[in-house]
Chains A and B, each alone.
Chain A
Amino acid sequence: DQQVKQNSPSLSVQEGRISILNCDYTNSMFDYFLWYKKYPAEGPTFLISISSIKDKNEDGRFTVFLNKSAKHLSLHIVPSQPGDSAVYFCAASTQTGTASKLTFGTGTRLQVTL
């Protein structure tokens, strides 16, 4: 049962344009969401997160939007740069005490072309 879904396995965007990566979840208990970027042969790198009490969080070129009613979040990258080419994972968690368990999506490979 895939509780976090990234339905687009790949995305190609021109340099300078906006990249929009989408993520859907099914577990209404999730209340904390994160995006990670992963290059080949490296571990995932934390990008940005959002708590369920917010609907938007911005950090430089990266903005995450959360639509709780639709159980949907998206990552916007503006403007896209060639160095952004990587696999992006969204992840979700429930704040059960202080336990740390992330449920990841299957990832979206972003290719930023010149």
Chain B
Amino acid sequence: KAGVTQTPRYLIKTRGQQVTLSCSPISGHRSVSWYQQTPGQGLQFLFEYFSETQRNKGNFPGRFSGRQFSNSRSEMNVSTLELGDSALYLCASSTQGLAGVNEQFFGPGTRLTVL
């Protein structure tokens, strides 16, 4: 079974631009979560999508948004980029069965650099 894939792997943008990152979950996984990893801050939760609906949201400004498609693929968008948005953006998928929290499987991440 193929793992979680993220595209692109690396991205360089300038301040004020916007960016869209893509995530394809493991086949059969309906939940997709996004995290931002920066040095010293660990991984911080951005949002989670399940069946095309945002089900959970972290404490990030409205410049960060996302969506999920009917095939469970997800995109996240960051508008009006700031230098502090430079980070590794990780996507994770899980089956989300009736038991509640399941282990999440992470993609390799997209390294975003804002100049």
Enumerate chain A interface residues (CB-CB to B < 8 A). 32, 34, 36, 41-46, 49, 89, 91, 93-95, 97-107
Contact = CB atoms under 8 A, between A and B. Distances in A.
Interface residues of B, number: 31
Nearest to A95: B100
B98 A98 contact: yes
Contacts of A89: 42-43
A100 B33 contact: yes
Interface string B77-115: 000000000000010101011101111111111000000
B48 A99 contact: yes
Contacts, number: 74
Contacts of B90: 43-44
Nearest to A94: B101
27 contacts: A32-B100, A41-B108, A42-B108, A43-B4, A43-B90, A43-B109, A44-B43, A44-B106, A46-B105, A94-B101, A95-B101, A98-B96, A99-B48, A100-B48, A100-B56, A100-B94, A100-B96, A100-B102, A101-B58, A102-B35, A104-B42, A104-B43, A104-B44, A104-B45, A105-B42, A106-B40, A106-B42
Contacts of A94: 101
Contacts of B31: 100
Given A41-B108, A46-B103, A102-B92, 17 more contacts: A42-B108, A43-B92, A44-B90, A44-B106, A49-B103, A89-B43, A93-B101, A95-B100, A98-B50, A99-B50, A100-B50, A100-B56, A100-B102, A100-B104, A102-B101, A106-B42, A107-B42
A41 B106 CA distance: 12
